[in-house]
Amino acid sequence: MIEVKDLYKEFDGTPVLKGINATFENGKTSLVIGTSGSGKTVFLKCLLGLLHPERGDISYDGNIYNQMSPDEKRDLKKDIGMVFQGSALFDSSTVEENVMFPLKMFTNQPYEERIERVNFVLNRVNLENANKKYPAELSGGMQKRVAIARAIVMNPKYLFCDEPNSGLDPKTSTVIDTLIQEITKEYNITTIINSHDMNSVMEIGEKIILLKNGVKAWEGTSDEVFRTDNKDLTNFVYSSNLFKKVREAQLKEDSK
């Protein structure tokens, strides 16, 4: 579980996050949504320890990050998996080498153990025959699955995903969403996803937090999205004609 209390972050005197409070539970996919400039990327970087807030606490299973020793922070990083926007694979390395990279960085495991773990996670993301391929030989969806395999190869407690469906077609996006949710539940991971993809919100949004101008404007589940009267959320969700029609259909169904 990750708990955030009164998180405040500013740049050059300009506040970007203004007292965010949130709880992210084990075994659930939580989505942080919002328009560009809402603060969601800064929020994610604070959770990862890449940015230091001016005020507030971030707790990992009861352990407050800014009270940890350097060794404790280093150990925490081993428990964190990250899926970057655009996958961020090493172009000159094979799939196998990309996935093995965290094991080489953070463990002293012999090669036999590392390759066994690599093969296990590649099989888990349905890429069991892709070991020797290079990223350029893979589709966008396959690259994203390699990125997920790399993120879970250390068996993390916490998984962060930054726009995991960026650049993918709707069908492939659904495959990636389902894979992330399955892994989250299977390994009881605390998963936090930055996204603007409404399909993701509706498919795997067990918890959704909307940020607007650095504050938490709404919190709920995918089931509540179409039933809320929160103006900030409705303006974000129904910016497209498709979802305006979906809302109208939902309201008609509720009125019966």
Q: What pLDDT sits at residue 244?
A: 64
Three-state secondary structure string covering 17-29: EEEEEEEECCCEE
- The residues pairing with 82 across neighbouring beta strands, listed in sequence order, are 160
Residues listed for the chain: 256
Q: Residue 124 in contact with residue 183, Cβ under 8 Å?
A: yes
Q: What pLDDT sits at residue 15?
A: 94
CATH 3.30.830.10 matches 2-223:
no
Looking only at the bridges linking them, the beta strands covering 207-212 and 28-33 are parallel
Q: What pLDDT sits at residue 239?
A: 67
Q: What pLDDT sits at residue 201?
A: 82
Q: What pLDDT sits at residue 85?
A: 85
**Per-residue confidence of the chain (256 residues) as pLDDT tens digits?**
999 999 999 999 999 999 999 999 999 999 999 988 899 999 999 999 999 999 999 999 999 999 999 999 999 999 999 998 888 999 999 999 999 999 999 899 999 999 999 999 999 999 988 999 999 999 999 999 999 999 999 999 999 999 888 888 888 889 899 999 999 999 999 999 998 878 788 888 899 999 999 999 999 998 888 788 888 888 887 766 666 666 667 667 766 6
Q: How far apart are CA 212 and CA 134, in angstroms?
A: 39
Q: What are the start-end ranges of the E strands in 12-104?
A: 14-24, 28-33, 55-60, 63-64, 80-83
- Domain edges within the chain: 2-223
